[in-house]
Amino acid sequence: MAMKRFWLAAGAVAAALGITTFVQNTSLLAPAATGRPVLLAHRGLAQTYPSSGITDTTCTASRINPPEHPHLENTLVSMEAAFSAGADIVEFDIHPTTDGQFAVIHDWTLDCRTNGTGVTREKPLAELKALDIGHGYTADGGKTYPFRGKGIGLMPSLDEVLARFPDRRLLINVKSNDPREGEALAERLLKLPAAQLSLVMAYGGDRPITVLRERIPTLRTMSKEAEKRCLIHHLALGWAGLTPQSCERQLLLIPSNYTSWIWGWPARFTARMRAAGSEVIVAGPLVGGNGSAGIDRGEEFSALARPIPGIWTNRIDRIAPLVKAEQR
């Protein structure tokens, strides 16, 4: 009899936990979604390339897809084009310069994309701005270079981006794990008006991002370690409807093939994270160690669970019209 009572009690507890988990996490009981997904344009409106076989040393400019538009990544005109196409947030990359500025460029070295050589952060801003940032782009293995000579002087500084887009949402990628860069970026961002600062997010190495969070407590940020902590803690607590403190004020970039592991995906999780001051963005699937691709094709967009909180894309010109059509 004692054993029977034990199993009955255990069954009741398991049932109660199951009901609690369902009620706290089903999107069927979530408030109705309003608005469209937040659209995040990676590097503005940029040239794309096949993502297969990419490593940290791959020169992506040497393997672009045939160009469909005239824009080069991380330029003011590419950012303007992305916003005009429907982006809510534009992401761009920064490197410090030897004269205390930040240059907006993705690559650690100059040899791939530009007509310069050497390490990007070992140059003064004026030297970087004189380069042709379209020099290395080719879609046919070097037979032709469609952007050569067209990118001279197009590399902006961080100051120029902030001045051009004072009322737009921006995501800054710190390309190192040096805490001094977090300190320098914090000093620059703290000079912004409060309204403009509220529109900025940052991500990168864990050490500079930790500094940024300490210096600017209101800033939404992301690093691999911080996102890992948040999602592990949410895996442990989210079943009960709880939001871990480690998930507050985060930018959460969720690979589309990992969403099934997240309690309350999509509506409940998104509502909890937004209540914690965090932004949730869905990227393409994480495959191996090469990072997440963007949601760049119609079939990738169609496959996402609704409601979609936000979308990371390299092709804002393709994805924004699909989002707009779905909202009609």
pLDDT (tens, 9 = 90+) of the chain, 328 residues, equals 565 554 454 454 444 444 445 446 655 555 655 589 999 999 999 999 998 878 888 999 999 999 999 999 999 999 999 999 999 999 999 999 999 999 999 999 999 999 999 999 999 999 999 999 999 999 999 999 999 999 999 999 999 999 999 999 999 999 999 999 999 999 999 999 999 999 999 999 999 999 999 999 999 999 999 999 999 999 999 999 999 999 999 999 999 999 999 999 999 999 999 999 999 999 999 865 445 589 999 999 999 999 999 999 999 999 999 999 999 8
Measured in whole angstroms, how far is the alpha carbon of residue 179 from the centre of its chain? 20
pLDDT at residue 55, as a whole number: 82
Contact 312, 89 (CB under 8 A): no
pLDDT at residue 56, as a whole number: 80
Instruction: Say how many C-beta atoms besides its own lie within 10 A of residue 257's C-beta.
Output: 13
DSSP symbol at 169: E
Cα separations (Å) of 17 from 9, 148, 192, 233?
12, 62, 48, 18
Reference 132, options 117, 160, 154; nearest CA is: 154
Instruction: Say how many C-beta atoms besides its own lie within 10 A of residue 16's C-beta.
Output: 10
- 67-89 exposure pattern, b = at least 16 Cβ within 10 A, e = fewer: eeeebbbbbbebbbbbbebbbbb
pLDDT at residue 259, as a whole number: 96
